[in-house]
Amino acid sequence: MEKHKLPIKTFLAKFFVNHELQDNEDIFALGFVNSLFAMQLVLFIEQEFSIAIENEDLDFENFKTINAIAGLVERKQVLLART
Amino acid sequence: MKIELTLEQKDNQAAFRDFVDREIIPDADRFDLEESIPPELIQKLGREGYLGALLPKEFGGKGLDAIAIGLLNEEVGRGCSSLRSLLTVHGMVAQTLLKWGSKSQQKYWLPRLASGRVIAAFGLSEPNIGSDAKSVETTATSDGSFYVLNGQKKWITFGQIADVFLIFAQCEGKPSAFLVESDRPGLSIQPISGMLGVKASMLAQLSLNECQIPQENLVGRVGFGVSHIAATALDYGRYSVACGCVGIAQACLEACTRYANQRKQFGVYLKDHQLIQQMVTEIIINLKAARLLCYQAGYLKHIGDPRAILETSIAKYFASKTATQAASDAVQIHGANGCSSEYSVQRYLRDAKIMEIIEGSNQIQQVTIANYHFGF
C-alpha cells in the first residue's frame, strides 16, 4: 500500500497547491472538492494503477484520504490478480 | 507527436459526411421550422449504429474510439444541431450507464440504447436550478422497495420522445441519480416550443408526482449523483457539444465560401472584398483551433488520461464561442439573405448561441478552467 501513496500524493499536489495534504487528512472535509476533481481522481486511479473504478466502489470512504485511496487500489489489485 | 486521423477514422468520417449530406442537410431547415425530427430519421440513425456509437460491441454498439465519436458529432452538427443534441443526450445516458450502471442495468439498457429501440434523455435542469446542479429540488424518498420521486424537470432535450430519463433528485438530502421510464405512472411530459435555437430538439418539461420506481433504478450510489454520475454524463455532453460546434463553424465556412463565390457587389465577387476575406479568415483559423482542441480532448479520452476532463471543458468553451462568432459573421456576409429563412446561416447563429449555455454555461467553464489553474 505504501508504494501507491507517492503517485497519489503527486497527483493530488497538482490540485492542493496551497495545502500539504497529510496521509490521513480528509480531502472532502477541506471543502474544495468539486465534480471536475472527483472525475479526474477516478481517471487518475484507473490510468495509474490499471484498475477500473466501478459502481460498487462508489463510497466516499474509498476516496477521502491518501491512505483510503491507496487501500482501495491495493484491494482492487489483489482482486484483479485473483481473476 | 502525430496529429493525423487513422485510416479507419477517415473512412468513418467519410461515411458520416455522406449520411449527413444525404439524409439530414436537405431537410434540416424544415426540422427547425416544424420544431421536430421525424421518427424515421431517428430510426435511420439507429440503423447506422450512430445512437450506439460509443457503446462496446458486446452491448451491440459500434465501439468507436473517442476521436471517431467526435467526428460523428462534428458531421451531424454540421447538418443539424438539433439532431446532434439527440446524439448528445442519448450518449450521455449511455456513457453513464456504461461507467456507473449496475451489471443488470447495463445488460438491460445498453443493447436497447445501442440499437435506438430505446431513446434516453438527461433530466438535471429544473425551473429553479440550472448551473447549481447540487441544489436540485426534486426529491426521491425510499419506502423500502421503491423510490418515490416528486419535482419538476425543465428544458429536457428530446424529452418529448424519450423512453427513459436519467433523473437527478435529492435522496436522504444528497444528490442522486435514477432511471425513470417514460411510462411510469406519476410522470407527465409537456412539450416546450418557441425556443431561440436547436428548435427541433423536442424539449419537454417533466412533472414527477409521487412517481414510483424500483430500488434497482438507482444509478451508482446515493450521494454520487452530481460528483460522479452527472459529471460523467456532462463530460461526454461537453465533448459532443464541442465537436458539434466545430460542425456548425464548418457549415458556416462552407456556406460563406459558396455565397462569396456567387454573389457580386460593386462588380466583383464577395470573395474579392478584403473585409469579407477577413471574416472568412477568422472563421478558418478559429475553426481549425477548435477542431484541434476537440482532437486533443478526444485523444486524452481515448487513453483514459485525467487531463481529458479539463481539456474537454476548454474545447467546449472555445468551440462554442467559435461557432457563435462564425455564425454571426456568416449572417453578416450573407447580408439580408442571411437573415432570411431561405438561408441556413440564421439557423446556425440561433443554434450556436444555445451551445454557449448548455452542458455547463461558458461562465461555468471559465470558473472551472481558472479554478484548475490556481488550484485549491
Count how many residues are written for chain B. 376
- Taking CA–CA distances from A47, the nearest residue in chain B reads B304
Three-class secondary structure assignment of B350-362: HHHHHHCCCCCCH
Instruction: Encode pLDDT of A11-64 as tens digits.
Output: 999 888 888 899 999 988 877 677 788 999 999 999 999 999 999 999 999 999
- B309–A47: do the CB atoms touch at under 8 Å? no
- Quick check: A47 and B306 in contact, CB under 8 A? yes
* Domain of residue A31, CATH code: 1.10.1200.10
Which residues 340-359 in chain B show a CB within 8 A of chain A?
none
Neighbour-count burial of B82, counting CB atoms closer than 10 A to its CB (0-12 exposed, 13-18 middle, 19+ buried)? buried
Q: How many Cβ pairs within 8 Å bridge chains A and B?
A: 72
Contacts of A44 in chain B (CB under 8 A): 306
Enter the ipTM: 0.93
* Residue contact A36–B231, C-beta within 8 A: yes
pLDDT on residue A32: 67
Q: Name the CATH superfamily, with its identifier, for domain B7-118.
A: Acyl-CoA dehydrogenase/oxidase, N-terminal domain (1.10.540.10)
Using a CB-CB cut-off of 8 Å, the residues of chain B touching A34 are: 227, 368, 371
Q: CB A39 to CB B376 under 8 A? A: no
Q: Which of B98, B134, B317, B376 to mutate to test the interface with A (most CBs of A within 10 A)?
A: B376
Return residues 14-73 of A near B (CB < 8 Å): 14-19, 30, 32-36, 38-44, 46-47, 54-55, 58-60
Name the residue facing B226 among A14, A35, A54 (closest C-beta): A35
Q: Cite the residue boundaries of each domain of chain B with CATH code 1.10.540.10.
A: 7-118
The DSSP string of B191-206 is E----SS-TTS--EEE
Q: How many C-beta neighbours within 10 Å does residue B87 have?
A: 22
Interface touch B375/A35, C-beta < 8 Å: no
Question: What whole-number distance in Å separates Cα of residue A47 and Cα of residue B138?
Answer: 35
Interface test with B, best of A15, A17, A43, A69 (most B CBs within 10 A): A43
Cβ within 8 Å, pair B306-A58: no
Nearest-CA distance B155 → chain A (Å): 22
- From CA B310, how far away is CA A43, in angstroms rounded? 12
Helix (H) or strand (E) holding B245: helix B231-262
The answer to whether the Cβ–Cβ distance between A55 and B313 falls below 8 Å is no
Which residues of chain B fall short of a pLDDT of 70? none
Grid cell at residue B140 = 426521491
Residue found by looking up cell 472584398 in the block:
B273
What integer pLDDT is reported at residue B41 of this predicted model?
Answer: 98
Say how far apart CA B224 and CA B227 lie, in whole Å: 5
Contact B112, B282 (CB under 8 A): no
Contact: B306, A40; criterion CB under 8 Å: yes
Q: Given an 8 Å threshold on Cβ–Cβ distance, is A42 in contact with B228?
A: yes
The CATH homologous superfamily of the domain defined by B226-374? Butyryl-CoA Dehydrogenase, subunit A, domain 3 (1.20.140.10)
CA B7 to CA A21: how far, in whole Å? 46
Q: Which domain holds residue A61?
A: 2-82
CB contact under 8 A, A55 and B221: yes
Residue pair B75/B83 in contact (Cβ under 8 Å)? The answer is no
Report which DSSP code applies to B158: T
Active site residue B359: yes
pLDDT mean across residues, chain B = 97
Number of domains in chain A: 1
Residue of A nearest to B105 (CA): A55
- B193 burial (CB, 10 Å; 0-12 / 13-18 / 19+) is exposed
CB contact under 8 A, B306 and A60: no
Set B23, B35, B356, B359: catalytic member: B359
Q: How far apart are CA B323 and CA B227, in angstroms?
A: 29
E-strand stretches of chain B: 120-123, 139-142, 146-156, 164-171, 174-181, 187-191, 204-214, 218-219, 264-265, 268-269
Coil vs helix vs strand at B136 = coil
**B338-356 burial by CB neighbour count: b if 16+ within 10 A, else e?**
beeeebbbbbbbbbbbbbb
Contacts of B97 in chain A (CB under 8 A): none
Question: Cα B333 vs. chain centroid, distance in angstroms?
Answer: 27
User: Where in the sequence of chain B do the CATH 2.40.110.10 domains occur?
Assistant: 121-224
CATH superfamily of B121-224: Butyryl-CoA Dehydrogenase, subunit A, domain 2 (2.40.110.10)
Three-state secondary-structure class, residue B42: helix
> For testing the chain B interface, which of A10, A21, A39 should be mutated: the one with the most B CBs within 10 Å?
A39
Q: Where are the alpha helices (DSSP H) in B263-358?
A: 274-302, 307-338, 345-355
CA nearest A31 in B: which residue? Answer: B376
Residue B326: per-residue pLDDT: 98
φ/ψ of B239, rounded to 5, equals -65, -45
